[in-house]
């Protein structure tokens, strides 16, 4: 069978088998449609049905998460862990707590994670997990009881050499702490079973910063190819959580100006720019008080707040989506281009809808695909695992240096793979091909498993 028909038959099968998993179909389509030249070049990939196997998780775990709120009411949520691919190392990928979580979303995130982790060149397989739990407006005690219940079941399936989860939307240092505590109690062992741990008890310096910093380093690499830099650039950032906060911090350090942030309620536009002091306010607002971004507009003069909108209509040079999937529609992408945006760098996972991706692709906009641009987080998680195994701690400068090297190397891999397969300058194809090839070759080596 020819590469093109083979890819189409795998895509058709994925949709037919799990018709409701829209985000998963989207993620699979985006990867597979880049792979025709690499599949055509190596018949062994078709003979060993690598594609048919790579789209099917090695294991999917679904479980009940019962917990009690502060008033004694009993609630039930659904927990997920999708152990997608372990060809390159233990499953690795975050845990998301958000009411929208379902199996299709966890599968999309786990599928993306396989190729992202491969691009880091670290020994990491791909996985993802989460629960349809809404942490908003919950007390610390409720969050703790939920995390303990979630980990009570999850602990049977993970381990430092098996599957090493981290944070994602709704899961930060507080939640990782509660889950680690419960794992340690149940298993009577102190191991690097989770990353994103507090620096006092096994975490890595720069891990909280890594996804945001990494995305900005990747943007810098893209701009460098045009002899340009972030100096003086007007940037819009969406979200106001972990990735957004450190994206803003690094843009400021590199001389750019950030004029927006958002949350699921709305967007703030600050024409004067978010400076270090204002960023401190955002960090306190989001990390300590778990408040709404609207308060930023109430606190600082000259700031506009737009309920129910996203920041893509704001005039900018560079855009950093850092909230969630499918947050940039075709109309948003057109507005960005129309307003002169020259760079789109994805801190969030799959933030750009497929028709918007095609539009951006056909424009002159530099486009950093999530699985390459936001790989800094998992890369430093990999470094956290190394430090845990060696029982030592690297300095801030050392980890930051390694992160910069990794982001540079990922950019180079994307450029080189695109060029090798006749798609010069196409970083989307480059990321998908380079990420895929390493996993596929390992799968060939391991036989039909
Ligand atoms: P956080 O929970 O820290 O922050 C998420 C931010 O996005 C919040 O401001 C949140 O607003 C907003 N948001 C979430 N869901 C929606 C939605 N449906 N519509 C609008 N806004 C929304 O998560 P992270 O910063 O860790 O993650 C952000 C993105 O980056 C995600 O796509 C994640 O998968 C990706 N990512 C994260 C990594 C990490 O290391 N943390 C690594 C790689 C990728 P609100 O508070 O109102 O919910």
Q: Is residue 446 part of a domain?
A: no
Where in the sequence is the domain holding 64, given as residue range(s)?
Answer: 59-191
**The two three-digit tokens of residue 140, written as one number:** 């610390």
Tell me, yes or no, whether 263 and 143 share the same domain: no
Query: Measured in angstroms, how far is the CA atom of residue 420 from the centroid of ligand 1?
Result: 34
Order of all β-strands in the sheet with 318-320: 304-307, 266-269, 257-262, 234-237, 318-320, 343-345, 366-368
Q: How far is CA 176 from CA 164, 171, 201, 283, in A?
A: 12, 7, 12, 18
CB 108 within 8 A of CB 348: no
How large is the greatest C-alpha to C-alpha distance in the chain, in angstroms? 64
Tell me, yes or no, whether 65 and 159 share the same domain: yes
Ligand 1: which atom is nearest the Cα of residue 349?
32
Q: Is 112 in the pocket of ligand 1 (CB under 6 A)?
A: no
Q: How far is CA 185 from CA 176, 238, 336, 353, 391, in A?
A: 14, 38, 50, 42, 20
Mean pLDDT, the chain, whole residue set: 97
Q: Which residues of 124-161 are buried (b: 16+ CB within 10 A; e: fewer)?
A: bbbbbbbbbbebeebeeebbbbbbbbbbbebbebbbee
C-alpha dihedral over 60, 61, 62, 66, to 10 degrees?
-160
Residues 6+ apart with CB under 8 A from 284: none
Segment 246-271 shows an average pLDDT of 98
Tell me, yes or no, whether 242 and 359 share the same domain: yes
Tell me, yes or no, whether 294 and 333 share the same domain: yes
Cα dihedral sign, 291-292-293-299: negative
Number of domains within the chain: 3
Q: Please identify which of the residues 107, 116, 128, 250 carries the catalytic annotation.
A: 128
Tell me, yes or no, whether 368 and 244 share the same domain: yes
Q: Is residue 23 part of a domain?
A: yes
Tell me, yes or no, whether 16 and 160 share the same domain: no
Q: Is residue 234 part of a domain?
A: yes
Tell me, yes or no, whether 157 and 39 share the same domain: no
Tell me, yes or no, whether 149 and 260 share the same domain: no
pTM for the predicted model, two decimal places: 0.97
Last residue of a domain, one of 326, 350, 373: 373
- Catalytic: 128? yes
**The two three-digit tokens of residue 73, written as one number:** 């009411």
Q: Is 211 in the pocket of ligand 1 (CB under 6 A)?
A: yes
Q: Give the per-residue pLDDT at 343.
A: 98
Segment 86-92 shows an average pLDDT of 98
Q: Is residue 390 part of a domain?
A: no
Query: Measured in angstroms, how far is the CA atom of residue 323 from the centroid of ligand 1?
Result: 4
Tell me, yes or no, whether 42 and 63 share the same domain: no
217-245 pLDDT, tens per residue? 999 999 999 999 999 999 999 999 999 99
CATH number of the domain enclosing 171: 3.40.50.10860
Query: Measured in angstroms, how far is the CA atom of residue 282 from the centroid of ligand 1?
Result: 14
Ligand 1: which atom is nearest the Cα of residue 98?
15
Q: Is 326 in the pocket of ligand 1 (CB under 6 A)?
A: no
Residue 1 has pLDDT above 90, yes or no: no
172-221 pLDDT, tens per residue? 999 999 999 999 999 999 999 999 999 999 999 999 999 999 999 999 99
Report which DSSP code applies to 1: -
CB 70 within 8 A of CB 51: no
Tell me, yes or no, whether 116 and 255 share the same domain: no
Q: Is 135 in the pocket of ligand 1 (CB under 6 A)?
A: no
């Amino acid at each position: 069978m020819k590469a093109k028909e083979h890819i189409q038959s795998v895509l058709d099968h994925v949709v037919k088998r799990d018709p409701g998993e829209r985000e998963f179909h989207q993620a699979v389509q985006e990867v597979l449609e880049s792979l025709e030249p690499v599949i055509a070049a190596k018949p062994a990939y078709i003979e060993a049905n690598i594609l048919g196997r790579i789209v099917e998780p090695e294991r999917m775990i679904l479980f009940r998460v019962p917990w009690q709120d502060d008033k004694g009411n009993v609630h039930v949520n659904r927990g997920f862990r999708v152990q997608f691919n372990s060809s390159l190392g233990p499953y690795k990928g975050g845990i998301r707590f958000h009411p929208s979580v379902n199996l299709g979303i966890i599968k999309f995130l786990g599928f993306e994670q396989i190729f992202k982790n491969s691009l880091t060149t670290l020994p990491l397989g791909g996985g993802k997990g989460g629960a349809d739990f809404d942490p908003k407006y919950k007390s610390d005690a409720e969050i703790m009881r939920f995390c303990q219940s979630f980990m009570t079941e999850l602990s049977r399936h993970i381990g430092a050499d098996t599957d090493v989860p981290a944070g994602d939307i709704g899961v930060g240092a507080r939640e990782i702490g509660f889950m680690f505590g419960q794992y340690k109690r149940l298993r009577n062992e102190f191991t690097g079973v989770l990353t994103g741990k507090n620096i006092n008890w096994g975490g890595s310096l720069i891990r909280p910063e890594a996804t945001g910093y990494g995305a900005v380093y990747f943007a810098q690499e893209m701009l460098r190819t045009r002899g340009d830099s972030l100096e003086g650039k007007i940037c819009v950032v969406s979200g106001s959580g972990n990735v957004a906060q450190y994206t803003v911090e690094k843009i400021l350090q590199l001389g750019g100006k950030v004029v927006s942030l958002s949350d699921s309620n709305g967007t703030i536009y600050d024409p004067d720019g978010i400076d270090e002091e204002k960023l401190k306010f955002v960090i306190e607002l989001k990390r300590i008080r778990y408040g709404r971004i609207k308060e930023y507009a109430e606190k600082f003069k000259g700031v506009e707040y737009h309920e129910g909108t996203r920041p893509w209509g704001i005039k900018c040079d560079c855009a950093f989506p850092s909230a969630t999937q499918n947050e940039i529609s075709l109309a948003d992408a057109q507005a960005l281009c129309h307003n002169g945006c020259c760079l789109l760098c994805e801190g969030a996972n799959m933030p750009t809808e497929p028709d918007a991706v095609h539009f951006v692709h056909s424009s002159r906009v530099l486009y950093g695909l999530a699985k390459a641009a936001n790989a800094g987080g998992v890369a430093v998680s990999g470094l956290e695992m190394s430090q845990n195994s060696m029982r030592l701690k690297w300095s801030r400068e050392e980890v930051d240096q390694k992160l910069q090297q990794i982001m540079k190397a990922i950019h180079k891999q994307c450029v080189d793979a695109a060029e090798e397969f006749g798609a010069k300058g196409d970083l989307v194809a480059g990321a998908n091909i380079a990420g895929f090839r390493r996993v596929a070759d390992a799968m060939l080596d391991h036989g039909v498993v």
